[in-house]
Chains A and B, each alone.
Chain A
């Protein structure tokens, strides 16, 4: 294990994080909200600790392997959340550190689960930092650094990128990892700027437009108002619905579109199924909730918005779906678990994995019927070979295991079963709101400190697709 390299990259990560805190500090100065000292302390401490780590462990050997990649990413994300909590804590806007940590982890992992009961009471500079963490976490920080400088020698970068980017097929768009990272960030930035412009065109003030765009782009879900998106105009709701859906699509789809390879792009099976599932769920829910609305349009908008919000794992809300009929609620929880496309900013189990598992299940039945016939699982016309099938099966097992264990642990706090299950589902899949006490109108403030830490673990594990966090439990890593 190249431990120096892990500490070194974590140090660089902290320095970058300190730089990313600067815009919030500038807003604090512009607003003269009296919180600038809190920001200054947070930035100073983060940058100082980062510089110290990077300086003390300047590596002679920058070669890293898959193992180092996994550990760097998980350690990096934990440190990122620990340090990112400082602005909340030092400005006393969130007085307890564990709450600040929960809020930051929720921000970076683009979960959007909050412990705040009154968002509007927060100062704008802190709100900006809260939403900005979504944007940073959406595409990943290490990917961001790699777009600017190569971190490791030769092929080491791909191990970092693989560990940080969602999806089982970490495919590079172009031969170099660094260039791939650059292209991904440019697409991400371009789409975010478009969204800001469209929201401004709808009459939203710049601050809200920025914050909501960060939340949408990263598929996070932190808003600036207590009722999330409920009180904005229908135009804004439609724009956000469309963009949430767009950010849930595999980014290689956009790269192919940009290169003019429309036919290749449309051949993507995952994107097709993603849109089919999305439309089907939304329509069923529209008809199941129509009785509660005065117009068909209102029901249609709310259901399309909500399904997009949970399926892309954003977590914005225009309606309290906790009050919807049971069928709708079940479909919502199912959509949460399916999640967005691999290679997007969204979380969840990922549509492609669901497709493969579904096909695998069909093949199992076929095998039983026709034992001598050869059956293969294909995705996008390609054969999914046995090692990949095994890894997807293993991923599913891990996913279920973490889900069940977390539910049992947080049950100690005494909430009802639905609350506990959806709290874990909503954090592990990086969505935000669940049902009942943690529903669209509720929040996570009621859980005890230990449960909050468990949920933080779920959020980070979910964002990094389980494996990077799970390797931390291996004793050989710590030797």
Chain B
């Protein structure tokens, strides 16, 4: 597809990177020509320097012939205006980033009038993700499939865990919980494990199971989740606001530490139930004073990645057992910090890129692909995709043990008539099912592509 991206900031370039590997033709628009040249050379895409609300700039980007425009500049109003103009000039669909909480309540009412196909709010998505993680404190990432009927969860095998030294085949008899191991990340390598694969401590294991299947599974592993009651949030940005709003709804105590006095006042006004502390959250004495040693979870959400990492490390060393969530936006910092035990890491970049990618794949749906949901796991090295099985598919009606399936593919879950099950060798895929596939191949568009002879 022909896609225009307006705004080549961190999020814009992350979206561009994932779309270009999917084989789309991209045109980038930004007001900073030097950066634009660098990025467009790095990614092999076209670029137009100028303002994305200028119709002649959009015309030069061939907006009328494009299928999609993604407006992700730093400014909500510019994004909305850009989408409106592009729509008038004849672009197929528009995706708009709107992150100001002031707009989020009203955006749904004007969405139709503006002709927006999708509104992304990276900060709110990140907050929702963090809130999910807090709900399942031992799980690193929890994703939903099949309208929430199936869940994907990652956890780390700690030393002394009952899983240590156990093979995938033995796991089922040892822990009587219906889960399926999808992927294991070991030494930064992603594996799709088979029966003989042996777990070791330090592995990050991703499993899939029916909704509600986690609790028995986690308790069988000795990971009994105690309820999270007190959360400390460092940094009072937009993400922190959305997160506090969600947590307070669940009757969790939230303390927000914000350095800027005016911003702290604003937060206190908007979130009357939260404790807003106007102080430097990277001051360790202050953190101790605010009771970090008795808190259940710490979320480092300041705008500076390095501060977030260091604050998390401080908490990890001084308060054993605390759940930490660290926001890291730059992918190079994330890579460098990976050897450290940071707990869960959240990146607005990859969350947004995933969302947009999901939408773009769904758009292609009408042209022949059938991806309903897509999640990336193991730092993006493994993809879990939900497919709809269409009439005429070449994988239906054949027992899975007889179906020639590629080595790098795992059929994780089948959803038939509102019932979710993990398939065995004699099960078949039928028309009308939805199927979850786990794979190390990127850009799978067709369910038929899982056949080794396709």
Interface residues of A (CB under 8 A from B): 154-155, 157-159, 172, 174-177, 179
Contacts and interface: CB of A to CB of B under 8 A. Distances in A.
Contact of B41 (A159, A174, A175): A159
A155 B46 contact: no
Contacts of B41: 155, 158-159
Nearest to B26: A175
Contact of A155 (B25, B26, B27, B43): B43
Best-buried of A158, A172, A175 by chain B (most CB within 10 Å): A175
B68 to A, nearest CB: 13
A154 to B, nearest CB: 6
Interface of A is mostly: loop
A179 B2 CA distance: 13
Interface string B26-40: 110000000000001
B45 interface: yes
Interface string B1-28: 0100000000000000000100001110
Nearest to B45: A175
Contact-size category for B: 10 to 19
B341 interface: no
A348 to B, nearest CB: 26
B42 interface: yes
Given A175-B25, A175-B26, A175-B27, A158 B46 contact: no
A301 to B, nearest CB: 42
B44 interface: yes
Contacts of A179: 25
A174 B45 CA distance: 8
Q: Nearest 3 A-B pairs (CB), nearest first?
A: A175-B46, A175-B25, A155-B42
B261 to A, nearest CB: 42
B46 A177 contact: no
Contacts, number: 28
A158 B44 contact: yes
Contacts of A157: 44
A176 B24 CA distance: 9
A154 B27 CA distance: 15
Interface of B: 2, 20, 25-27, 40-46
B123 to A, nearest CB: 29
B249 to A, nearest CB: 43
14 contacts: A154-B20, A154-B42, A154-B44, A155-B41, A155-B42, A155-B43, A157-B44, A172-B46, A174-B25, A174-B46, A175-B46, A176-B25, A176-B44, A179-B25
Contacts of A175: 2, 25-27, 44-46
Given A155-B42, A175-B45, 16 more contacts: A154-B20, A154-B42, A154-B43, A155-B41, A155-B43, A155-B44, A159-B41, A174-B25, A174-B46, A175-B2, A175-B25, A175-B26, A175-B27, A175-B46, A176-B44, A176-B45
Nearest to B38: A155
B268 to A, nearest CB: 47
Contacts of A174: 25, 46
A175 B20 CA distance: 10
A265 to B, nearest CB: 14
Contacts of B2: 175
B3 to A, nearest CB: 9
Contacts of A159: 41
A157 B20 CA distance: 14
A159 B26 CA distance: 18
A378 to B, nearest CB: 15
A176 B40 CA distance: 10
A140 to B, nearest CB: 18
